Structure 1
């Protein structure tokens, strides 16, 4: 990211977005489960991160769900109802061949041929280039699943990545997909490698990126261990979660921390996600100045840290001494 802000190889201006760019960037995460940065300046939003990952895992492309968590994504929809290329989950988990998804076909291949090099999940389609006015062309070229020595490694190939706005969300969602795939294959989580053709930072975001880099460099960096996804996670798990997500997003229900922990039948890992969605419901629908402190108290420490730095209503609950 520093190269794209301080030492860019190129200055570009694609579709009116002046940016600084480096070509051919790659990095590897040896522990992809640690998928969130704990930086005050970055203000990572775990509510959106989990919502987008679940939207992908469910194979959805509707704007109704994801637009609630990221209203700016509405500008990328050609019809105001669906998203196109950026709906990666629809490409990966939606029907592709005789009613089966690309994900299903690849996991079946790898169950039968563990050392295969063919476990590639393509996303970017040449057909996306046919319409030059298309506002939503996939940035993700594809995901390559590589089981080796009892671990599932994954290589992500991006045609382009906005290092300020897109990289954090992409790494979070793609490593969630990797961990989900590892569970379906009965493997441990391996390495995650992220490769980018055009790594860029828009000029109007460069100062914010500089502040994030300065904070990361000054240390010591706060860190919290991210828990492992439950080994019984399956498509039905995602479906169950999204029932509660929709009820909270549409403000049909409201949950207490005790209700989430004792009555929804969810593993504690996934209870954390519903806690986040209820906190967001209070912020969006109830428009409270202070959220229910019991919900914050029930969050894992890392998620609590992020929420209190992202949302003033969460910080106010913490500052009130209720925790």
Structure 2
């Protein structure tokens, strides 16, 4: 089955409708619960920058961003990712690490930095068909818990654009799919900048695309909102993003672990500073500091994030007697 869409939201809307209504969908019981499943689905997204949901009921911007920096930092630490996504606690055997984490596989699978490897391949031979990142490993067949849902990422440079083909063994449409699209299209855009070509299509192929029975009401709420306006993220700055991403990996750690908000990194373009502000806003949300969230929202350079920020702020009641807002260690 093929699904074509301009945005992640459109793709999610169409895929959910097919899982719920299509005669090709089957009902079955799995390890994680009863679900409806479509087998062999390919989803094409023509604008990978329209990578996070605009729907009120499905805004996952902050958890998706946290997961991206978890990957990019090469980490498998449970405490880091559970700060954003509590469900990862079910994937840990020792309460400290997540064996299926993508970060170590991206940057250190058998000592190989796969990101740098495929960038070098694409620079040396733009028409290569070998620019493939492996995430699922043979050893995962013996995993006691859930192995990686993603098998491979293949980057194909054609007609001056970088396309990304992702192969998934399994994908939870309501929660996993939006997170995967966000992280993988960000990686796609990073590599497009490093190789000096434009961003192409994102193609997401799934063996088992499913909706769990206990998520039916959330799915219906999302569908009831209708199709969302297409508002993509801004384009990344044209220079190599590697240095900025490493700065933000360090900043994410400081924000998450410090009691007060650290100063924002110096020398970053507005695009990257907005991502740093989003990390700070999520910290304020967890601390129920609506006042600082509103201040940070007013400093954002791109309006595309406003709805997601307002949703988080709206979940915090103004206190009659407010706690002291989180202070920055220096001026923004």
**Fold match (TM-score > 0.5):** yes
Q: Are 1:198 and 2:212 matched, yes or no?
A: no
Mapping 1:127-138, distance limit 5 Å: 127-131=139-143, 134-138=144-148
Q: Please point out which of 144, 169, 175 is paired with 1:159.
A: 169
Counterpart Cα distance in 1 of 2:318 and 2:64: 22
Q: Please point out which of 265, 272, 284 is paired with 2:274.
A: 272
Q: Are 1:35 and 2:51 matched, yes or no?
A: yes
Q: Please point out which of 78, 83, 96 is paired with 2:93.
A: 78
Q: Are 1:107 and 2:119 matched, yes or no?
A: yes
Mapping 1:1-323, distance limit 5 Å: 1-7=16-22, 9-42=25-58, 44-85=59-100, 87-94=101-108, 96=110, 99-131=111-143, 134-217=144-227, 221-254=228-261, 260=264, 264-284=266-286, 286-288=287-289, 290-299=291-300, 300-313=302-315
Q: CA RMSD in A?
A: 2.1
Counterpart Cα distance in 1 of 2:172 and 2:195: 31
Per the TM alignment, residue 213 of structure 1 is displaced from its structure 2 partner at its CA by 1.7
Q: Determine the structure 2 residue equivalent to 1:321.
A: none
Counterpart Cα distance in 2 of 1:129 and 1:295: 45
Unaligned runs of 5+ in 1: 318-323
Q: What is the number of equivalent residue pairs in this alignment?
A: 302
Per the TM alignment, residue 57 of structure 1 is displaced from its structure 2 partner at its CA by 2.1
Instruction: Describe the shift of the 1:82–1:234 C-alpha distance in structure 2 as closer, same or farther (beyond 3 A).
Output: same
Counterpart Cα distance in 2 of 1:150 and 1:315: 49
TM-score normalised according to structure 2 size: 0.85
Unaligned runs of 5+ in 2: 1-15, 320-332
Per the TM alignment, residue 265 of structure 1 is displaced from its structure 2 partner at its CA by 2.1
